[in-house]
Structure 1
Amino acid sequence: MVMGLLMFSTLVLALMAGVVVYSMDSIKVRLVGGSHAGEGRVEVFYNGTWGTVCDDDWDDNDAHVVCRMFGYNHNGWGLHDCDHSEDASVRCVAAVPVEVRLVGSARPGEGRVEVLHNGEWGTVCDDGWDDLDASVVCRMLGYNPSGSVSIPSAHFGQGTGSILMDEVACTGSEASIKDCNHSGWSSHKCDHSEDASVRCGTTTTPVKVTLVGGSRVGEGRVNVFHNGEWGTVCDNDWDDNDARVVCRMLGYNPKYSVSFYGTYFGRGFGPILMDNVACSGNEASIQDCGHRGWRSHNCSHFEDAGVRCVPIRPVEVRLVGGARAGEGRVEVFLYGEWGTVCDDGWDDNDARVVCRMLGYNPKYSVSFNGTYFGRGFGPILMDNVACSGSEASIQDCGHNGWRSHDCDHFEDAGVRCLEAGPVVRLVGGFRDTEGRVEVLHNGEWGTVCDDGWDDNDARVVCRMLGYNPTGSVSLSRAQFGQGTGSILMDNVDCSGIETSIKDCGHRGWKTHNCAHSEDAGVRCVAATPFDVRLVGGSRVGEGRVEVFYNHGWGTVCDDSWDNNGASVVCRMLGYNGSVSFSGARFGQGTGSILMDNVVCSGSETSIKDCKHRGWGTHNCDHSEDAGVRCVAARPVEVRLVGGSHAGEGRVEVFHNGEWGTVCDDGWDVNDARVVCRMLGYNPSGSVSFSGARFGQGTGPILMDNVACSGSETSIKDCKHRGWRTHNCDHSKDAGVRCVVAGPVAVVRLVDGKCDGEGRVEVFHNGEWGTVCDDGWDDNDARVVCKMLGYNNRGATAIRRASSGRGSGPIHMGQVACTGRESSLKDCPHDKWGTQDCEHSEDAGVRCLP
């Protein structure tokens, strides 16, 4: 018989031939006669003999004390009026295993320590935190405890929620942090600025994963290799975040990973190595996810977890049917075949991405719709492409999904790529405005030799990159490090006023007598702020064009002024279509004439990006002042980004073909209500956030000083400073949290024969509409039933308007839920309101109580 003994107030448990024994100081307690460990008749050892406890007044409070191993109350030693028919007993419930995870670092094996205890994740205070404590955490996560490093003071960021442990004092040999001494669960004197962290060394044995039992590559039962053996993973808490980590480990795209449970891919054999896996989805390895501990589980192989991964395959593009190189119908190569792109939503931002992929300068790309370069054939692979223009590949742009479209080949998209000269970039600098000069020529990047390199050459490079050429500095002798590859230019000789380095004299492409130790560089000065306004018109959206440059307003001469120039000005001001005017149609201006011979392609984001004679260079007077009339802008959309759940995040607005953020100046709950209403949420209870609460955005800041009354149907109807007019940076990005007052606020069932069935209607942008039954199945029905509080397991999809035809808009189509989503709007679907259905195809559901 082995007995655990610990002095003071801690009780120790030992298993002795089916008997559980506890010891505290000189008093021992044991449980006898139970069918398993943790239950039985209570017996205590006192004055050299074992005896029972009478059940007079014995209740759960007494049992709690025994099970908690902190002693119990009694009437006095040997005093009782009982016989053994009244012997007291207890049944103790095993504690939920403690798990750990590391949070807040971009690399595996380090981060803020978070502990799962009693169903809640919380942090650990750094009081007394040392390398011995770190070694226990690292051992729990499968790392070699040797070399573990403790890090105090919220090194990986402050956590939120509870602080669960303080004054942790491990010896370093414990199997779990719960076995270490500490001040007691949730007992602490800390705040989150004292959150403890660790950095672990290499893994004891590299953790690997493989998929077994699938019908194709990329799917199957998850097997994990740990400490020299393969084993399965239990499906308790297994979800798509866990699947993403497994797929990432195997080299697949984690974005569309799907989790499976219940031996979907057959039962495994051997050990079950992991249970209650809790990944965020961003981990590099499954060993970095929280779990119960290696080999700790309550499962059988009927609960083996599985995944299905989506392969990452590079997408290619080509142009077909053009009259010259650099133009044509866009065709995309995916999964072994070429297909076209539908022109729904196709614009110059999309064209820029295609042209960049083909090695052209994206700046002057032009989009074409309506089979301008002839009809294609074969599959239509993409529709509703929505690029920002900065993506490296068209596959990185938003779209309906591969092969998901409502088009025919009369809508094939096209582009024209214009190479306005070599592209330049700066490499190796400490900031964006400096670096080694590299030039793109004939599809290849190369450096520039510093022979003859001076500030005039630097001015041209800085002007090409949009910086103020004044103050540009030339640097030589590979100041920003030596490049690799070709040296493309030597003896460059610019006057400083050229718009492109290709217009400068040089020895000829690839003709030089240099090595990379002579690579040229530049340091540029940030560009002068630039703006545009319309003056003298009889209504909003028309007037004489005036531009702000070098701290002053001036006019534009109408030489070469046309509708392309007008479209750029109107786009800058948030309008759509445009008409150009010459001859001071809106009155003569005063002061400087800043631009002349403006030649725009029409796709530029700013008039300053158009060709012209040079700032202040002209042969005009104010009788030639240029003007425009702009057409009302396209509808504005909103989305929420960066939130931890649906219905909250940074507010981003879609305006004139691009997404941008909103500055928080004047941002309040009335503005939040309008955003939430646009997204289909109940505006009551909306909460506004400032100070980039949901992270800083990128790209343009489109709105500032938004002042809604709260009753508007769209944020575009609220007062603001004007599109793109602001005095903010992204540290002031506005956010919201939308509250759903009840399930009916988002989805409802109409015209059913009984409660729990009917035509599905969803609330979006302030109005109710139906759902098209294209692709509608039981997984979609499960999500609807879950939203309405019904049992989602027996949900049944109903098609062909079986609950009657609706009226009004058809909001959604091609809905493709997995069945696990918490809201229908979280499921993939076609763009809101872009369905090719009739109300004879309205979808419905039948839910079980």
Structure 2
Amino acid sequence: MPVTEGVLEVKHKDSWTQVCDLGWTPKNTRVVCGMLGFPHERKVNKKFYKTIIKRTAVKVSKPKVNGTASARQPTKAKANAKANTKSKPSVSGKRLSLERQKHHFLVHSVACTGTEVHLAACPLEFSRPNATACPGGMPAVVSCMPGPLFTLHSNAKKKLKISANVRLKGGARVGEGRVEVLKNSQWGTVCDDRWSLQSASVVCRELGFGSAKEALTGARMGQGMGPIHMNEVRCTGLERSLWACPFKNVTKEDCSHTEDAAVLGPGPNRTHSWGLICGESWGSKEVTVACRQLGLGYANQGLKETWYWDSSNVTEMVMSGVKCTGAEMSLSQCQHHKVLNCQKTAAKFAAGVICSESASDLVLNAPVVQETVYIEDRPLHMLYCAAEENCLSKTAASIHNIGRSDFRPKAGRHSWVWHACHGHYHSMDIFTHYDLLTSNGTKVAEGHKASFCLEDSECYEGISKRYECANFGEQGVTVGCWDLYRHDIDCQWIDITDVKPGNYILQIVINPNFEVAESDFTNNAMKCNCKYDGHRIWLHNCHNGDAFSEEAERLFEKYPGQLNNHIS
């Protein structure tokens, strides 16, 4: 657990000093806690600390600093604040004289409103020279509520409940990302009109972090898909939820996903001992989590051996069998062996990562799939190429790159495989899975296709195409462009010859083996309700895997329902 309670100190001209508690309010504590990465303030047992001060001695623990910040008075004098405390200090150890403590009071009073994101924004009154510092008072003491990242593995009885109505997507680090809110069981983005640091801080605190460091505009964390739920959000900074802030509903003329709001929030600071991770089974998802935990951006490449890197004095392997979903905030949250189980424990076989400041993010356009599905009978002699490539499906697919860097095949051009049947190169072994599932998830039919041609079919206005497959050209999908596979192209259909009529779920997954790192894997899957009567097929409610709330998604799988569109 981090240090969450103790005497507040501010740094002024390279020295630390205390703040007088005369007139100290919970609003001041709220601002300090937010600066240090904590979402809320707590009451302090002042009697306990008064007893400590009267007895003139405290036990000093190993110094722990959770954060720093600057503050200023009207004369532009500057100070820094930190939590330099131990929860419930004991009356023993190093002695501090009362006379010395009096001279440590530099800040006489603080008057925050509670909406500030930094102590620097609060009015400060500094002690006057030759005047009695903090007469009759004591140092200000703060107590903060730790967020979920601090309490995840603790035995704390009271843990902070995190909102299920807001989330951050597309961020590389803990506490940053595109802001998405839940409305009518569907996730949508927030327009950046009038987006402020106060509104961003409400989001961060709602998710268990402290005050936001920056309010990002212009889809800095990538463009979302689907609805835009809020516009012109105007928070004061005191609200407990973004939905409690005044806002306007969005019209088509108001904004687009190029204006999606995002936040850059604080992450926790922790101290641990160092050890190596076994490189066996180390993949893209694990690299994604490692880069996020380190604050180094997005995953670029995972290494199962690191013998060619300069060695360090860390040689002990302490973790093996790491298996992540990609959504975790740290590797400790991933599944791993309780007891080290690694065949190659030498340091050169330790896992390694290469991180990047940006990453691609592929997402299927659900309406295109829903509007283009149909059934067609074909004789076997017409399926030679499709059978050769082991891909049997029939619908159009529009794959958008909403990330912040181009999606490129993992293998270089020298590794691409030529297929004479279709006259093109394969740049990835498997690019898409197509599955027809029963309502309980049992697979009844499947198909998949290789990324035989990744190119920019169309782009948003103002964005130029960069990739084209013709003449052995470079393959990829540019940011802001999409690759369109028409329904009449091979490998865009599923063989349902032996499938019985009934209600099913159509599931499409792009980049299923996570060969190429992305900023977000949760939106790579798309599902549709599917009704098949033996002659015709209907699709309904096509959506990306992260588009709805968990409750709505469970209902979707339990009750496929009647489908309303009819394309034959």
Q: TM-score scaled to structure 2, two decimals?
A: 0.31
Higher normalized strand content (fraction of residues): 1
Larger radius of gyration: 1
Q: TM-score scaled to structure 1, two decimals?
A: 0.22
Higher relative contact order at CA 8 Å, sep ≥6: structure 1 or structure 2?
Answer: 2
